[in-house]
Amino acid sequence: MPELPEVQTIVNELKPLVRGRVLQEIKVLTPKMVVGEPKKVYGQKVLGLRRRAKLIIFDLSNGWHLLIHLKLTGQLFFLPPKAERTKTGEGQNRFTAMIFYFDDGSRLLFNDLRKFGYLKILDEKELLERLKKEDYGPEPLEPDFTLEKLQKMLAQRPNAQIKPLLMDQSFIAGIGNLYSDEILFFAGIHPKRKVNSLDDTEIEKIYQGIETILRQALKYKGSSIDTYRRPSGEKGTFEFHRKVYRRKGERCFVCGTPIASLKFGGRTAYYCPTCQK
């Protein structure tokens, strides 16, 4: 599933392409993925594009919003006027769930192999209620996410294991399996450690890891290990900089120990048994 760096990259790259454009139509090819009435937003200008956690939000001129979640395999591909495919060859196919048409002839394809993603068409009140219901935690790259704030948050969850806690969207928004592994490797913390076993120095390293890893992933436009692609169809390249995620059996870049894995429910954590204590 795309995490914060992937979703933010999509928002960053789509924003200059669709902001100011008028949404003329949404052609729905997979009705089960749409909640709300598309016609309510026809003829509306895109005022802005933003991210909350792993959600993409289009703000429209009539006060309504398009809320998109890509889930496991969703992709958004932008086609300029008269283009049938992106420069990497991505276009409409049997996995295209919906098509957004804009007034200049450009289109946005929402492709989804598994069809778990969704589009919700919401007014302002419905959007606020939806975000409140999701109960997302703070955004880790916002200025108000300080070390002191993280310390206080952790103090409220003393018995939690650190790996699943970092992935808990009600604790911190946007971090998933890949980046929690890389953050904990950066910090030298074993994924099964409980919060109450962490000292101040270790918590500070986790905080630094969140900032460093997420910003590095943004720099490289996310990770295209699975189905994630940028709106242009191009891949992100952070996967070439990962240290532990999906590297089981390969040598640690720091100490040479084979990378190990363990299960947290249905999720797999990857870590170095020597570097992470």
Tell me what pLDDT residue 266 has: 86
Q: Which residues are catalytic?
A: 2-3, 54, 267
CATH of domain 147-271: 1.10.8.50
In the chain, where the domains are located: 4-134, 147-271
Q: Is the whole model's pTM more than 0.75, yes or no?
A: yes
For residue 115, give the amino acid letter: K
Average pLDDT rounded to a whole number, residues 122-147: 98
Average pLDDT rounded to a whole number, residues 144-156: 98
Average pLDDT rounded to a whole number, residues 55-77: 98
pLDDT over 90 (residue 235): yes
pLDDT band at residue 1 under the 50/70/90 scheme? confident
Tell me what pLDDT residue 179 has: 98
pLDDT over 90 (residue 256): yes
Average pLDDT rounded to a whole number, residues 119-128: 98
Domain 4-134 and domain 147-271 have a common topology = no
CATH superfamily of 4-134: MutM-like, N-terminal (3.20.190.10)
pLDDT band at residue 265 under the 50/70/90 scheme? confident
Average pLDDT, the chain: 98
Average pLDDT rounded to a whole number, residues 193-220: 98
pLDDT band at residue 216 under the 50/70/90 scheme? very high
